[in-house]
Structure 1
Amino acid sequence: MIWNPEDYAKNSDAQLKWAQELRETLDLQGNKSILDVGCGDGKITADFAKTLPESRVIGVDSSAEMIAYATHTYTTARYPHLTFACVDARSLNFDREFDLCFSNAVLHWVDNHQAFLRGASRALRSGGRLVISCGGKGGAADVLQVFSEVIASKQWNNYFNEFHNPYFFYSDRDYAPWLNETNFKVERLELVPKDMTHLGKEGLASWIRTTWMPFTHCVPETQRNDFIADFVEKYLERFPLDQNGLAHIRMVRLEVNALKL
């Protein structure tokens, strides 16, 4: 799957907001070493580097397109201690180098969270902190339901004969033993409901185009906008815009805050 970094950067304000909310709960002072796993376009990683200008900050992502965009956008001239690298979340190859391993709005794309947790545990120093926020069990249920109806329709079903849902939404009960097995002490582990909003039909369509590519890219490019418009129409029939013209998406985030033993 090939990401469009520019499009993602324009349509990921909610992800940045949630990441900033998480960061504000952390006591980050002085010289820290921070690993941002699944850094995407780099805006969240750069936000760490701006807030902690003397800290070593590394952003990793499996998308070469995202890493190229982040490296070009957030240069070492502006952020001398910030670097980016193309690394899969399941194959972290660091050895006790970091005080914080952070991952926001990424791991629901990853099919092996236990491999990620093993790599995160290796990457952290003793006493280091793991902070995760990703799609959790029950997340985007309304979106997935509407998609299931759209792709079952006669107009689109031929494109989805071999389709498999690519998202991995886990619960706190799933995560507790995995964290224990990888040498983490849990300080916070919970599913948190979130209300995501997008401005009008256009905002909702942009979000679908940007982040639901496993669905939209099953359809030929010449028909993709029609497919997205079909989804938006059906979604808003069921969940109309509010009085301010906002579309609401019921999300659930799995949030983890744990210490490396």
Structure 2
Amino acid sequence: MTDTHSWNSQLYDTKMSFVSAFGKGILDWLQAKPGESVLDIGCGTGDLSHELASMGAKPTGIDFSEEMIDAARKKYPHLPFYVADAHTYRTTETFDAVFSNAALHWMKQPEKVAESIWIALRPGGRFIAEFGGAGNVETVIEKIRIVLSSAGIDASERMPWYFPSIGTYSTILEHQGFSVTCAQLFDRPTPLPDGENGILHWLNAFCSPFFTGMSAGEKKAAYRDIAEELKPHLFHDGSWVIDYKRIRVAAVKPFEKEIS
């Protein structure tokens, strides 16, 4: 996560719960086994760590947001959660697997994150992740740019996300030493809850870096203008459908080769 974004854990759990719900699909890729130790990077309020624990795994959750970690500890007090930056995360423990859902696109120095994951994994351990890929929320970003430009703001300078192609991200992992076993980029049109207000909740939950320095009234007006720009494209049959594109990737940290 970035330090320019503040998180409302209650809004996240009540209005953006689809994030964790979709994340259950990537758990099928992880195939966590009873007793396995799993590091959950960008764990949010802990729902998927809880799912891992229910499978018999031993999860440890980290997130950059203190508010998210506070919420996770309250919801699941029996599980370990820590405030940490994945760019610089170091631990003496090594994990059987590292897992991440809907978080890596907030981390704009992916090479550093790949190094942290590498160090956290035991040899033979696996890395499984899903996050925003090239073209993710492209329509939303375009309309944010249009609205903010009228206020003299260059949205590109405030872009909080990193949305790579599968080739770019696979190359980063391979340079770190990983063997990439599978990588996919796919469309996931995602309906938002709460009818016409859905896009307002989404902008409020995920887009605060674009609106830094604005008053509450200015943000409200900007959200309304963005919604009007987006409506012909993303509002269908009474609900908003966001143009998500996701990367799924699986990689393995190889065992060290013996020198003969």
TM-score normalised by the chain length of structure 2: 0.89
Q: For residue 257 of structure 1, what is the aligned residue in structure 2?
A: 250
> Distance between the aligned counterparts of 2:70 and 2:29, measured in 1?
30
- Which residue is equivalent to 1:120? 117
Residue aligned with 1:25, SS: helix
Tell me the distance in 1 between the aligned counterparts of 2:228 and 2:137: 17
| Contact 2:97 2:127 (C-alpha < 8 Å) held by counterparts | yes
Helix, strand or coil: the match of 1:168? coil
Alignment partner, residue 17 of structure 1:
21
Report the counterpart of residue 58 of structure 1 in structure 2. 60
- CA 1:140 to 1:162, structure 2 compared with 1: closer, same or farther past 3 Å? closer
- Tell whether the 8 Å contact from 2:148 to 2:155 is kept in structure 1 after alignment: no
Cα gap change, 1:158/1:43 in structure 2, threshold over 3 Å: closer, same or farther?
Answer: same
What's the CA shift for 1:49? 1.7
Q: Secondary structure in 1 aligned to 2:74? A: helix
Q: Secondary structure at the match of 2:87?
A: helix
Map 1:1-261 onto structure 2 (within 5 A): 1-52=5-56, 55-76=57-78, 82-95=79-92, 97-153=94-150, 157-158=151-152, 163-199=157-193, 200-236=195-231, 238-239=232-233, 241-243=235-237, 245-261=238-254
AA partner of residue 179 (structure 1): L
User: C-alpha root-mean-square deviation of aligned residues, in Å?
Assistant: 1.8
Identity of aligned residues (%): 27
Amino acid at match of 1:241: F
Cα offset, 1:254, TM superposition: 1.6
Deviations 1:40-87 (A, max 9, x none): 1222222222232xx3211001111111121122112xxxxx200011
**SS at the partner of 2:32?**
coil
Q: 1:43 and 1:202 mapped to 2: Cα distance?
A: 25
- Corresponding residue SS for 1:127: strand
Q: Is the 8 A contact 1:216 1:228 kept in 2?
A: no
2:105 and 2:35 map into 1 onto residues whose CA distance is 30
Q: What is the CA distance between 1:241 and its match in structure 2? A: 2.8
Question: Hey, what does 1:79 align to over in structure 2?
Answer: none
Structure 2 distance, partners of 1:240, 1:145, is 13
Give secondary structure in 2 for the equivalent of 1:99.
strand
Q: TM-score, normalised by structure 1?
A: 0.89
> For the residues of structure 2 that align with 1:39 and 1:27, how far apart are their CA atoms?
18
**1:74 counterpart letter in structure 2:** Y
When structure 1 is superposed on structure 2, of 99-108 and 20-29 the one drifting more is: 20-29
Distance 2:190 2:156 in 1: 30
Distance 1:119 1:145 in 2: 33
- Unpaired runs of 5+ residues, structure 1, are 77-81
5+ long unaligned stretches in structure 2 = 255-260
Distance 1:30 1:85 in 2: 22
How far has the Cα of 1:18 moved from its partner? 2.2
Whole-Å Cα distance in 1 between the matches of residues 162 and 141 of structure 2?
Answer: 13
**SS in structure 2 of the partner of residue 170 of structure 1:** coil
CA contact (8 A) 2:137 2:243 kept: yes
CA contact (8 A) 1:159 1:219 kept: no
User: How far has the Cα of 1:182 moved from its partner?
Assistant: 1.7
Residues 160 and 240 (structure 1), Cα distance of their counterparts in 2 relative to 1, 3 Å cut: closer
Greater Cα offset, 144-153 or 88-97: 88-97
Query: Using a 3 Å threshold, how does the CA distance of structure 1 residues 255 and 240 change in structure 2: closer, same or farther?
Result: closer
Q: CA deviation at 1:120?
A: 0.4
